[in-house]
Structure 1
């Protein structure tokens, strides 16, 4: 990232930018971060124009260690092999807050007259994830006074038919105080990406209010900004909106509402109740969202949570507090490290199996292996499957037409594709339901299938 300030009649010597940033133009300075290091230097420092550069060097091993115990849908090496070292997103935002902390706060003891002065600034970021189309940058930065110019970066310059990637070369031009410019970047870079590399809790909501409290309440995209910045945690989003917009009415915009996950869990539980299942396997259990609901209902006598990620299972064990349970209750639930695409004799003979938002994380050429393992080998009486309905995606705020809802999704079925796939599974009858708000044309955001094994199936 580079930030360039030009001299004005009120700011005759642009090298005074060094006072505002607390970084001397004649020095190269290095700063240690939890995931690597940041370097600050001045490619240009002249009276007429001064440019400061911030270079982030990400240590993949340190990043892998610092990530939360589990990220839904991650593949085995995803925390080590990813775009974080090359993309200006949440890691760059953290570096900005670490390196330019005093500048963001508008503190300059050496020249207290400088922080309140607005400067003509130009900020360049050569690779920024922009999930939602390149125009999203203008929608976010434009209301704050910035002219946002984006150049989409192709997936491969040599293969034009592959089209553009989700990354853009972003240039922001405008007049602002340095403190305001840095705070805008700190908040909006992770929003453009819609991914954060660290846990988001109540303290993150407080940070958002501190960094954006003077402008976010009036921003036309406040809902998108708060939802993405806070990783779509609805309770945190509502707390921030209530603080910044006291008279705001609750949002009824459903497509990006995290409560859809609760609706899915309730729909699955209802189907298990209808068939009278007593023993249940939850494939891809993750951190235990559905397991918690199953365990709270004593009609489920035996519950197995299965996941390919040992970190996810560790997190589920802590979330469910299994170590604190008495022997009788502890015997009801078990966590197993396994996969829906491999045969596992421990999973035979159960009343029901659940794959809630799982199949879309499996490579298409591995789906036959999943069908063989779940339906032909394990042979549960009932199998409940939920998956996104790709037709509904265009209703999502900020999601481009050709984007998936999660970066780890290998595909997303339309309703017809899902029904065609389900109809090819031998030995089971299937019916379909919708989960979430209904759109007359596009259906519901989640589609659900209930497979019932035929009694004559050997």
Structure 2
């Protein structure tokens, strides 16, 4: 089985530092089930490719405890499976952990990567393959093969040659492969016990909790053992925060108190509605709708014909529904509204076919390494004609007397941008994804520090 990882990062040969394998050497590693080899088919400053070749010994598969005779005639030596995951963990252990002694900053930097697996069993077909990788931001190419070329009526096999493209850290790529390859194969070559839960949580940190196929991934990774699956899903639900909805609600209230003296929230909503009407957008999706502040205003305006609110927090959606239920609207007006629970960094087909998307005070809640995934979901996958996006202006924070110096407005904010930082990001995103962008100030503008909220309106 063969895995190649290529990059066009400049200089591309720095891939050798990340993998801790020198491009000019061919290295061999003994494993309990065979031999692994690492070599570089190409190593130029413009493009570098590393290959992990795994030679599984069929004889070793049928020796020792738990051996099975049928493994002599199985596909195990020839396809990507849990054998490849073990090889990744052992041969690329330092890269998988996100460490690089010589270039530590490079290990934490997203770079363009292309992973290619020569033969990957996809039990569930190409649709399941895409369900696993596309929500993580990958561009997936899959070539299928017939069961037998001489008998086309037999149909297609479950084997694919798969290519995955993404701008991502190498450790994230390896973590995704480590977990998802055996999930696609739906099998493991070794006994699964409680230790596998720890492996799954460790390598799934930062992405598995909110993955739309979390339950399927967990069940398959743990070989469909019900007890282990229940325990793993319970831990994923509690990961990092025993009650994330209530904490988020508390933090949102604190932010509202800070901004209340200048009625900033109402000014923000009015500016967004005005931008939507100026663009003539009637079908609107509010990404990160929270407790429904904007949805309420959209519902009360008959100009908007289709309104969708999206949030990852089930509790926030419940509160939004309760608040919207208090509106006195005719039955046909309610038909314009739907609420969706979904993560914004994963591709969701329900995000498509809208005139406009609103992203109100959302991006600052994302970890910066995840921002690129959200950009692709918003600008490339959903791709509405108009995007209205707001975020705090950190320069204005000095004007809030009830906000301690050096503190962000919300405890869950991962960052807050200056005006220059926001405009630099907005211009780069517009150029990258084929949009134009205009920037507006929201709230009373100070001559020195600008306005409290900054807004970008993207059009294509």
TM-score by length of 2: 0.50
Alignment of 1:266-277 (within 5 A): none
- 2:4 maps to 2
* Post-superposition CA distance 1:66-104 (Å, at most 9, x none): 5635xxxxxx73122210111011111111111100000
Please, which runs of 5 or more residues in structure 2 have no aligned partner?
242-460
- Structure 2 residue 51 is matched with structure 1 residue 53: yes
RMSD of equivalent CA atoms:
1.7
Alignment of 1:58-77 (within 5 A): 58-65=56-63, 68=66, 77=69
CA gap of 1:66–1:130, structure 2 versus 1, over 3 A, is farther
Alignment of 1:133-282 (within 5 A): 133-246=125-238
Residues in 2 aligned to 1:5 and 1:214: alpha-carbon distance in whole angstroms: 23
Q: How many residue pairs align between the two structures?
A: 239
Residues in 1 aligned to 2:66 and 2:231: alpha-carbon distance in whole angstroms: 23
SS in 2 for 1:113: helix
Alignment of 1:5-404 (within 5 A): 5-7=7-9, 12-65=10-63, 68=66, 77-246=69-238
The structure in which a higher percent of residues are helix is 2
CA gap of 1:218–1:20, structure 2 versus 1, over 3 A, is same
Shift of 1:246: 2.3
SS in 2 for 1:169: strand
Is 1:138–1:149's contact at 8 Å kept on the other side of the alignment? no
Residues in 1 aligned to 2:206 and 2:105: alpha-carbon distance in whole angstroms: 21
Residues in 1 aligned to 2:69 and 2:234: alpha-carbon distance in whole angstroms: 39
Is 1:67–1:79's contact at 8 Å kept on the other side of the alignment? no
Residues in 1 aligned to 2:25 and 2:66: alpha-carbon distance in whole angstroms: 36
Deviates further, 209-218 or 185-194: 209-218
- 1:416 maps to none
Report runs of 4+ in structure 1 exceeding 3 Å deviation. Answer: none
Deviates further, 22-31 or 120-129: 120-129
* Post-superposition CA distance 1:271-312 (Å, at most 9, x none): xxxxxxxxxxxxxxxxxxxxxxxxxxxxxxxxxxxxxxxxxx
Residues in 1 aligned to 2:63 and 2:97: alpha-carbon distance in whole angstroms: 30
Residues in 2 aligned to 1:83 and 1:163: alpha-carbon distance in whole angstroms: 18
CA gap of 1:171–1:66, structure 2 versus 1, over 3 A, is farther
Residues in 1 aligned to 2:139 and 2:215: alpha-carbon distance in whole angstroms: 22
Shift of 1:106: 0.6
Shift of 1:169: 1.0
Residues in 1 aligned to 2:66 and 2:39: alpha-carbon distance in whole angstroms: 32
* Post-superposition CA distance 1:351-385 (Å, at most 9, x none): xxxxxxxxxxxxxxxxxxxxxxxxxxxxxxxxxxx
Residues in 2 aligned to 1:21 and 1:199: alpha-carbon distance in whole angstroms: 29
Is 1:34–1:66's contact at 8 Å kept on the other side of the alignment? no
Please, which runs of 5 or more residues in structure 1 have no aligned partner?
70-75, 249-458
CA gap of 1:228–1:66, structure 2 versus 1, over 3 A, is farther
Shift of 1:187: 0.2
Is 1:35–1:66's contact at 8 Å kept on the other side of the alignment? no
Shift of 1:53: 0.6
TM-score by length of 1: 0.51
Residues in 2 aligned to 1:242 and 1:62: alpha-carbon distance in whole angstroms: 37
Residues in 2 aligned to 1:67 and 1:117: alpha-carbon distance in whole angstroms: 43
Deviates further, 17-26 or 55-64: 55-64
- 1:412 maps to none
* Post-superposition CA distance 1:324-352 (Å, at most 9, x none): xxxxxxxxxxxxxxxxxxxxxxxxxxxxx
Shift of 1:213: 2.0
* Post-superposition CA distance 1:175-199 (Å, at most 9, x none): 1100000000000000001011110
- 1:281 maps to none
Deviates further, 82-91 or 181-190: 82-91
